[in-house]
Structure formats: C-alpha cells, structure tokens
A = this chain, B = another copy of it.
Amino acid sequence: MRFFNKQAIDSLDLKDIQKAVAHAYSLVLDNAFHMPDRMHVPHKENTLLLMPCFSNDHFATKLVSVFPGAAASGLPVVNGILVLADNHTGAPLAIMDGAALTAQRTGAVGGLAVACLAPKTVHTAGIIGAGVQGISQAQFLLFNRKITTLWVADLHETAARAMIETLKKSHPNVNFQVAKTARQLVDACQVVICATTSTQPVFEADPEDVKGKTFISIGSFTPEMKELPDAVIAAADAVYVDTPFAAKESGDICIPLKNRVISKDKIQPFAPVTRQPVATGHDKTWFFKSVGMALFDLTVASAVYRLGKEKNLGQVLQI
C-alpha cells in the first residue's frame, strides 16, 4: 500500500492525468462503472461527503470534508482523503491526498474540454477566479493550446498577481495580464474558464458579445451558484455537461432552464465528444459545464497508483 501526497500527485505528467479523465468518459460510454449517489453527512455547520465509485479493476472512495469555519483560522476549508482498492480482492492499494487529486482531475476535466472544443489556433485565453482551481485550469489550458496571452481576473487583484507569479515559473514565454474586470477579460479572450464560487454572473453581456468563444465553467456546483450570464448559454451552439447531474446541480444550467432561456434538448453529454470530435471553428460558441463526479477521481487515482508505482513515487506503507 502506498501513500501519495500532493507533491507526488502533482509530479505526474498532465498528459497522463488528462488521459485518465478521458478514460472516465470512455467508461461512461461503455457503461463500465458503478457510481452510487454520494452520501452527504451534515454535522453542525460542516459537511462530510462520501463518494464511492467502482470500475472493473479498482474502486475508490473519496472522503471530502467542508468546514467553512476553518477559513477564519487560515486553514483549508476543504480536506480530502481518497482510498483506492483492488476490485478483484477488496485489498486497499493506496491512500491519496484528496484535495490534490481533486485539483488535478478538475484541471484535466477543463483541459480535455479545451482540447475537444476550442479551435486549435486559439492564442488568447483567460481564467476568472485565481484560486487553487484557477491555477490548475490554467496549467491544463496551457498544456492543450499554444496560448500567447493569458488573462487572469479576480475580485482581489493580489490573488490574480500571485497566480501569475506561480504560472510564470513554468511558462516564462506567455504574456500574462491582469484584467481589471471579468468583462475586459472576456472581450480579450477566445477561451474563457470560470473557476469561482460566485452566486451572481461575474460579467454582463449580450449574446453577440460572446459569439465564437469557448466557455468552461468549473464553479457553480450548486443550484444557487451562477458564474456566467444567460447570454453565454443563449449564444452557445451546444451546451455540454460532464455528467447528467449538472443540469440539476449547477445554477449555470438550471437557472436558464427554469427561465426558459434554453430548452433541455440543447444540453448534451460531453462523453461522446471525447470519442467523436465536433467540428470546431472560430464561428462556434461552446459552453462546457463541469460539476465533477467520483468516476473522475477513480480513474485519475488508478493512474496515480499505476504510474506512481512505476516511478517509485509516494511513500510505501508498512502494512
């Protein structure tokens, strides 16, 4: 049994993490997985989430705790541990830092959407929300497309500057820019990735303002959260979701549905696109919405375990 901490997980190639996310979509298409409803355990003002998932070879359970009060002490609000086990014998194989795994797999979910949807020649892109997930999205974006100018917008300009400092180390040739407003960023970019916890659209626009752009929304994982104005979903040639739950769980989808800005048939599963690419082009407007699922954790954890063993990463646990 091995323990993989953040450093071990982060040291894997982005390519391999993204391949593991693509494999998850492949299991969806083949119906070769079992993902029970996650278990929500509220306790006082905190929440524990238990997220099990099974493939043919492995099963994983991610335990995620959300302690909003921890922020006041400067501690992480979200903590996680993932346990990976052998689905033939039941034997535990690995323990992983759940937060690091989530950051990487969510970055790869965004990255794979960019790879499948954004025209190959895009060169301007922007990240709205300069948190942990913003950095991970930027890394996978830069891995998938030759971006010459990357814009960053955040309510706190210092956060945007700190994120740029981090990204500069691995991407010295990219021109990084801090956007004064999210709308300035959207106007300047061909690809826009939102990774905020906003409950209000982070910019205002009309549908014609956003035509021809690729939008990736990573925040808005509850019905009350909304990152993007209805203009985006109205302008989109297609709205792709990583899981069917997204239509219920994300305010970015369920609010425009409720307000009849779009009809249900415009919402399509993203899995088929990973096998049969759509015709991308600078005239197309795409909206990809991710809320995540335990299956991504499972396939990425399987990859971390397999490649980590090969590269002798992580800490061997004396069982």
State the CA gap A65–B317 with chains docked (Å). Answer: 19
Interface contact B63-A89, CB-CB below 8 Å: no
Given B39, B61, B66, which contacts A90 in the complex, CB threshold below 8 Å? B66
Chain A interface size band reads 35 or more
Looking at chain A's contact residues, the main secondary structure is strand
The verdict on A48 contacting B59 (CB below 8 Å), with A5-B317, A81-B95 known, is yes
Binds B, one of A18-26, A67-75, A212-220, A274-282: A67-75
Q: Which residues of chain B have C-beta atoms less than 8 A from A199's C-beta?
A: none
What is the distance, in angstroms, from A22's C-beta to the closest C-beta of chain B?
A: 24
What is the distance, in angstroms, from A75's C-beta to the closest C-beta of chain B?
A: 5
Q: Which residues of chain B have C-beta atoms less than 8 A from A263's C-beta?
A: none
Q: Which residues of chain B have C-beta atoms less than 8 A from A317's C-beta?
A: 3, 5, 315
A19-77: which have CB < 8 Å to B?
A: 34, 36, 39, 41, 43, 46, 48, 50, 52, 54, 59, 61, 63, 65-67, 70, 73, 75-77
Most buried by B among A41, A77, A315: A41
Q: Which residues of chain B have C-beta atoms less than 8 A from A319's C-beta?
A: 5-6, 97
Given B41, B43, B77, B95, which contacts A95 in the complex, CB threshold below 8 Å? B95
Interface contact A91-B75, CB-CB below 8 Å: yes
Interface contact B50-A61, CB-CB below 8 Å: yes
- Asked whether A147 is an interface residue with its Cβ less than 8 Å from the other chain, the reply is no
What is the distance, in angstroms, from A49's C-beta to the closest C-beta of chain B?
A: 10
Residue of B nearest to A84 (CB): B81
Residue of B nearest to A6 (CB): B319
What is the distance, in angstroms, from A4's C-beta to the closest C-beta of chain B?
A: 10
State the CA gap A73–B52 with chains docked (Å). Answer: 25
State the CA gap A39–B91 with chains docked (Å). Answer: 19
Interface contact B41-A36, CB-CB below 8 Å: yes
State the CA gap A14–B32 with chains docked (Å). Answer: 46
Interface contact B81-A65, CB-CB below 8 Å: no
Q: Mark A280-319, 1 if CB is under 8 A from B, else 0.
A: 0000000000000000000000000000000000010111
- Asked whether A229 is an interface residue with its Cβ less than 8 Å from the other chain, the reply is no
Q: Which residues of A contact B (CB under 8 A)?
A: 3, 5-7, 34, 36, 39, 41, 43, 46, 48, 50, 52, 54, 59, 61, 63, 65-67, 70, 73, 75-79, 81, 83, 85, 87, 89-92, 95, 97, 315, 317-319
Q: Show 15 A/B contacts (Cβ-Cβ < 8 Å), sorted by A.
A: A3-B3, A3-B95, A5-B317, A39-B50, A39-B52, A43-B59, A48-B52, A63-B83, A70-B89, A73-B89, A75-B90, A78-B90, A79-B90, A315-B315, A315-B318
